[in-house]
Amino acid sequence: MTKTKINRTDAEWREILDPEAYRVGVKEGTERAFTPGNFQDEKRAGVYHCKGCGTPLWSSEHKFESGTGWPSYWKPVDPAAVATKTDFKMVYPRTECHCATCGLHQGHVFRDGPPPTGERWCINGAVLDFRPSE
């Protein structure tokens, strides 16, 4: 099922998100590695939802320890839930990922992850809401 795209003004984002989630998600920033509470160390089963709109994006079933200091997944819950674009903010191009529903910046995907996909979706915990399994 395709969700309706959500477009918010800057003022609406500032009202919905805390300052760090706004900086990371709207301004396409990056939280510091190993930030306490960024879900990197979360071990419970559950689903990680977009903080901007509640769309389920990442599952604990696809999470792995990458050693990078950010929560990492080898695939999204649904490929259609995550949009990508090329990011030229560093010396080399990277693939940036966003929530396909509301556009909130999530992080980047790299091709150095584990099987079966070989992908490492390196995600900022500041833009996630974790919902543990019942």
- Residue 104 CA to residue 27 CA, distance in Å, equals 9
- Going by C-alpha positions, the residue among 29, 9, 33 that lies closest to residue 20 is 29
Cα of first residue to Cα of last residue in the chain, in angstroms, is: 24
The one catalytic residue in 50, 53, 99, 122 is 122
Q: How many residues does the chain have?
A: 134
- Going by C-alpha positions, the residue among 48, 24, 46, 53 that lies closest to residue 126 is 24
Q: Is the Cβ–Cβ distance between 29 and 23 less than 8 Å?
A: yes
| Active site annotation includes 122 | yes
What is the set of active-site residues?
A: 122
